[in-house]
Amino acid sequence: MRIAAADVIVTSPSRNFVTLKITTDDGVVGWGDGTLNGRELAVSAYLAEHVVPLLIGRDAHAIEDTWQFLYRSAYWRRGPVTMAAIAAVDMALWDIKAKVAGLPLYQLLGGASRVGLHTYGHASGRDLPELFDSVRATLAEGHRSVRIQTAIPGVKAVYGVAAQAQASGERYDYEPAGRGPLPTEEDWDTGAYLRHLPTVFEAVRNEFGAELPLLHDGHHRMTPLQASRLGRSLEPYDLFWLEDCTPAENPQALEVVRRNTITPLAIGEVFNTVWDFQHLISNQLIDYVRAASTHFGGVSPLRKVMDFAAQYQIKSGFHGPTDVSPIGFAAQVHVGLSIHNFGIQEYMLHSDRTNRVFDQGMTFVDGYLHPSDRPGLGVDFDEQVAAEFPYQRAYLPFNRLPDGTMHDW
């Protein structure tokens, strides 16, 4: 079975998505996700110019060899654009292989290891009443664990806090990337954050009790010492994890954090390869792997990093924002269902408009995600509906400190 055609489709139903369609010579179609938030056209050009011509005529079943070929033959390895492009190919080929087998992908990965995936949803608020309402709405959606993000006194805009109030029952639809010609500038004050956040977790614990698993995303903004202080000050509130507490480039930073706090640590949503996790996993500096199939080269390397992590009792916590398309999301739900060391799955609902383009078979019942038993990844892509929503330039925001210094967002 040979690859006869490969097409790149960029669509923007309520945000931009890069989708790869691979068609075999006997007419089987596989779908892959190569979305890179704010840099979508770089991936689509990489695919169209440098990958698609190499795919035509290749054996559609040779997934590992195609992955290694795309990775090694470029000479220039790694990086988010390259790895998102390789991810799209890897996913589309797994989709094809599973469709040909007539099985959902998780069956090819070893079968289900659980009934479904335990998720966490997002809650945020500008003040405590708004945050509590948001926690209630998140629980009402079916999540059993909740990520807590809060406004910080004196800071005008903070990552993870939806701009508008979220009354109960209202669909959480936070998307930080703004459509428009230029990115928006936000501000930051680490001191205010370190003082304020523990008070918020204390209030949430008092309101919702000891048992609700709570998470928090530090979004790469702290130094090792600041992150240590935060981890330690949150210990009384028993977090499920503290995510991305220090910038991802420096794995040694987590040695400092680890020495100073027993708050569990998660990192890796901006990592691209297994090697980015090598030091962190082999030195047991983290508890959860935050990679996303779409930004990590696809299903094949996600499975490999989790097998490596399993030797150290480190679990999955795959990145699941809406900028991972329903295709990329389904791919990692299949991985999560099949591996033994699954931890938790971040789950942000895609918009109704996105779901018109991507027909998702996935179900979320009694707090458990299941990718469905449709053959393949379980997601169909409607090219006609996609064509109604052309690409729109969008950028993630950035941060400056009050004196104008650039800071991690």
Which position has the token pair 């942000």?
A: 348
DSSP codes of every residue in 4-44: EEEEEEEE-SSS-EEEEEEEETT--EEEEE---TT-HHHHH
Catalytic residue flag (residue 118): no
User: Stretches 15-23, 66-74, 177-185, 267-275: which one binds Mg ion (CB under 5 A)?
Assistant: 267-275
Q: Which of 46, 106, 120, 159 is labelled catalytic?
A: 159
The answer to the question of residue 130 lying near ligand KDG (CB under 6 A) is no
For ligand KDG, the closer CB: 160 or 380: 160
User: Hey, CA dihedral for 329, 334, 335, 339, is it positive or negative?
Assistant: positive
Told to check if 116 binds ligand KDG by CB under 6 A, we report: no
Residue 348 or 379: the one with the smaller Cβ distance to Mg ion is 348
**By CB under 6 A, is residue 378 in contact with ligand KDG?**
no
CB of 254 closer than 8 Å to CB of 285:
yes
Tell me the two tokens of residue 250: 């420096």
Q: Which of these ranges, 131-139, 162-170, 233-241, 268-276, lies near Mg ion under the rule CB under 5 A?
A: 268-276
For residue 284, give both structure tokens.
């047991």
Give the three-class secondary structure for 288. Answer: strand
State the binding partner of 321 from Mg ion, ligand KDG, none, CB within 5 to 8 A by kind. Answer: ligand KDG
The residues with which 381 forms a beta bridge, in sequence order, are 358
Q: Which of 99, 323, 371, 386 binds ligand KDG (CB under 6 A)?
A: 323
Q: Which of 143, 219, 319, 350 is catalytic?
A: 219
- Near ligand KDG by CB under 6 A: residue from 95, 217, 276, 287: 217
Least distance in Å: CB of 318 to ligand KDG?
Answer: 10
Query: 260: which residues sit within 8 A by CB, 6+ positions away?
Result: 228, 229, 231, 232
With respect to ligand KDG, which residue has the nearer C-beta, 60 or 137?
Answer: 137
Binding mask 161-200 for Mg ion (x = CB under 5 A): ----------------------------------------
* Calpha distance 203→3 (Å, rounded): 56
Q: Can you tell me the distance from the alpha carbon of 228 to that of 351, in angstroms, rounded to the nearest whole number?
A: 37
What beta strand segments (E) does 65-221 contain?
A: 117-125, 145-150, 178-179, 185-187, 214-217
Among 44-52, 69-77, 265-273, 355-363, the segment contacting Mg ion (CB under 5 A): 265-273
395 Cβ contact list (under 8 Å, min separation 6): 38, 177, 178, 180, 182, 183, 184
Indicate the SS3 state at residue 402. Answer: coil
321 binds ligand KDG (CB under 6 A): yes
Nearer residue to ligand KDG within complex by CB, 7 or 173: 173
90 binds, among ligand KDG, Mg ion, none (CB under 5 to 8 A by kind): none
Nearest to 51 by CA among 81, 80, 28: 81
Closest distance to ligand KDG from the beta carbon of 273 (Å): 18
Q: For the residues of 312-360, what is the DSSP string, one character each?
A: TT-EE-----TTS-HHHHHHHHHHHHH-TT---EE--PPPHHHHHHEEE
* 159 is an active site residue: yes
Near ligand KDG by CB under 6 A: residue from 183, 396, 400, 407: 396
217 touches Mg ion by CB under 5 A: yes
- Of 6 and 85, which CB lies nearer to ligand KDG in the complex structure? 85
Of 1-9, 12-20, 65-73, 317-325, the segment contacting ligand KDG by CB under 6 A is 317-325
Q: Which residues bind ligand KDG (CB under 6 A)?
A: 37, 176, 217, 219, 269, 319, 321, 323, 346, 396
Catalytic sites, residue numbers: 159, 219
Q: Which residues bind Mg ion (CB under 5 A)?
A: 217, 269
